[in-house]
Structure 1
Amino acid sequence: MIVCNSIKVNNRWFLNTISTPCCNDIALKEKNLMSTLFHDRLAHISMRTVRQMKKLGCVEGLPRDADFPDIPHCRSCTLAKSIHMPFMPALRQVACAPGDVIAVDLMGPFPLLLDKFSYAMIILNHFSSLVAFIPLKSKSDVAKHLKEWLVQFANIAHTTVKRVRTDNGGEFTLSFLLSFFKEKGIVHERTIPYEHHQNGKVEQTNRTLAEAARSIMIRANLPPTFWTYTLRHVAWVCNRVLHAKDNITPYEEVIKQKPSLSVLCVFGCKAFIHNMTQRKI
């Protein structure tokens, strides 16, 4: 057996040893092979589960002399079970006034509805959590309605809108809308594609509205064609219920008046229309 060889360079001999695997290395390799074999057989479960199965004796067919050490690396598991890296803490400034951050997102397309709307725009004021629900016939209506809402909000809240946060959808990048932002000095923040957490607050609002709307429709036994009517009602209610911030409703935070629930009825309840066009006994 060759233990080493040497090379002569400039009248000097350099010793080159040949490493040979020791018994421990060979044994460890055999154990890893056994772990890999049963890892593949058992649908890529963890070796901890296999060791627990062997210890409890809950199955037959596992080698009694195998220790099943953890596998150093399984390429298939790495590719198949990969997840998104943890989100970094938000570096954007926190909203300190009603006009600081306005987040916008779209819902839809919807199936055939009674009011013929196909989409809806959700506008969320970060500071107060005031939400606006605006149904749309098509995405091309986004720029017009968003501009109108921003002007109206600035007048009602006596503030100046500083930032508007949207995704990179084409409906938010029309020259008409971008020119309006530039004219008003509004910073347009656009999120990276597929990074929904960057506009997570309005995304969560969408989910909250949808869940509440589904609950109401199930309770009232209403068909899906009432979807936009229900969402509009939920948005109205959300603006008039307490939020965690400052123990105040979003409506009062912006309008500076306490909201009244005196006209609020159960959505879907029986109602009667008083016909004033004809006087009948």
Structure 2
Amino acid sequence: MAAIIEQLVDLKTVKFQEVVGRLKAYEERTSLKTTNNSHDQLLLSYEGWDSRKKRENIFGRGLGNGQDTRVNPRSEKEVIHLSEKKVFPTKYESHDGGENMWYLNTGATNHMTGNKGLFSKLDTDIGGTNNIFSLGQAEEGGCVILIKHGFLYMFEVDGSLLMKVQRSPNRLYKINLDIGTPICLQVKIDDPAWLWHARLDHVNFDTIKRLGTNNLVDGVPVIDHPTQMFMHICADPYPLPPKLETGEAFEQFKKFKAIAENQYGRKIKVLRTDRGGEFTSNEFNQYCDYVGITRQLTAPYTPQQNGIIERRNRTVMSTTRSILKAMDMPQSFWAEAVCHSVYVLNRLPIKILKNQTPYKALKGRRPNIDHVRVFGCVGYVKVPPDQVKNLMTEVFL
């Protein structure tokens, strides 16, 4: 009993009278079991306890050694909520909503249900008959819970309303919830939302919706699709591609510098890199000194000093692994997959640009991505008519 009280209340702020009341309630409940009295009472007050004891002329009986544990009468009525071993909401509810009825509970540590079909793995040692929706677990996931004027509101992180539940006559909050079934991408590829989800390297549906509604790009229809959370686990993750050699990194940097200056009129003033050998060669350093580029090198084993590029590289590689695994492509296509990932990511909005794509920020116009197709899909090349020979098909893979 002491362990239960310690879990239910804060020992630093709990009143002595409340602890005494809980102990008395426990004693009363155990004595009622032996006398076959009704044990349906869930609430007990100090006022009711004192009146019952006066009727039974039981005064001065303590919890041990005959000590008197009575407390002074209180001017206000204080209700003690008991912790029962098994409380089934449907026992106190007059209407049964079936297997889809869920009871919203602030005291449940996790979502619970008696429907075995909703589990991928089930521990049969734990029993239960009702569907319990843990508001604490929902709040931990980022949801906002508000109970006001007889209604329970649950909001998403972005402020959108997830549910509005009216309080039942017996003070329970219950709602009918239909459990969604997993969706296979290959089955739903004919749906425009899922088709563009695959074309844009499995970006979330909220971003796809923003592309059309906010006119961030051309060629994407306005898609209104409910937000869905899913996870794709790679059993054999693709390893990272090999790093560039010292001379190759230097040559690629010179090409990038020439394009940035000649095509877009942007000067490179500062270059921040790690201390890899491909960036610290004498040839690289001498070139940067010659063209007036300031070098910034991060401290060893401190990638957070260059966090923007490190995080972007992680996004590129995660996207690359995703599209390779989704289409079951061999690792030999990793270079093409990286190019495709960078091409798509440059045409998707990012937070720092405030509803703008990197492509538009650089070139000043919206990109057109109507030509983008699912990476790894079957492609055909048309043979020019003047090169078609006898019995030769005009297209080939």
Q: TM-score, normalised by structure 1?
A: 0.50
The answer on 1:226 being equivalent to 2:333 is yes
Aligned to 1:279: 388
The answer on 1:235 being equivalent to 2:342 is yes
8 Å CA contact retained: 2:240, 2:317: no
One-letter code of the match for 2:367? P
Match of 1:263 among 371, 376, 384: 371
Change (3 A) 1:176 1:109: farther
Shift of 1:147: 1.5
Shift of 1:254: 0.9
One-letter code of the match for 1:203? E
Aligned to 2:324: 217
Aligned to 1:173: 280
- Mapped to 2, the partners of 1:183 and 1:257 lie a distance apart of 34
Aligned to 1:141: 248
SS at match of 2:266: coil
Shift of 1:156: 2.4
Change (3 A) 1:269 1:109: closer
8 Å CA contact retained: 1:168, 1:191: yes
* 1:52-99 per-position Cα deviation (integer Å, ceiling 9, x unaligned): 9xx99xxxxxxxxxxxxxxxxxxxxxxxxxxxxxxxxxxxxxxxxxxx
SS at match of 1:189: strand
1:105-184 equivalences under 5 Å are: 110=241, 118-119=242-243, 136=244, 138-184=245-291
One-letter code of the match for 2:379? A
SS at match of 1:165: strand
Match of 1:254 among 362, 371, 374: 362
8 Å CA contact retained: 1:213, 1:227: yes
One-letter code of the match for 1:147? K
- Mapped to 1, the partners of 2:287 and 2:246 lie a distance apart of 18
* 1:27-71 per-position Cα deviation (integer Å, ceiling 9, x unaligned): xxxxxxxxxxxxxxxxxxxxxxxxx9xx99xxxxxxxxxxxxxxx
- Mapped to 1, the partners of 2:328 and 2:354 lie a distance apart of 36
8 Å CA contact retained: 1:156, 1:255: no
Shift of 1:189: 0.4
One-letter code of the match for 1:257? R
The answer on 1:201 being equivalent to 2:336 is no
1:81-120 equivalences under 5 Å are: 110=241, 118-119=242-243
Q: TM-score, normalised by structure 2?
A: 0.36
- Identity fraction in percent: 29
8 Å CA contact retained: 1:191, 1:198: yes
1:181-196 equivalences under 5 Å are: 181-196=288-303
- Mapped to 1, the partners of 2:300 and 2:262 lie a distance apart of 33
Shift of 1:109: 6.6
Q: Figure out how many residues of one structure are paired with residues of the other and give that number.
A: 154
Change (3 A) 1:109 1:249: closer
SS at match of 1:210: helix
One-letter code of the match for 2:380? F
* 1:120-167 per-position Cα deviation (integer Å, ceiling 9, x unaligned): xxxxxxxxxxxxxxxx4x343111111221121122221211110001
One-letter code of the match for 2:269? K
- Mapped to 2, the partners of 1:226 and 1:175 lie a distance apart of 33
SS at match of 2:382: coil
Cα RMSD of the aligned pairs, angstroms, is 2.3
For structure 2, which runs of at least 5 residues remain unmatched after alignment? Answer: 8-238, 392-397
8 Å CA contact retained: 2:360, 2:366: yes
One-letter code of the match for 1:242? P
SS at match of 2:259: helix
Shift of 1:179: 2.0
For structure 1, which runs of at least 5 residues remain unmatched after alignment? Answer: 1-51, 57-107, 111-117, 120-135
8 Å CA contact retained: 1:147, 1:180: no
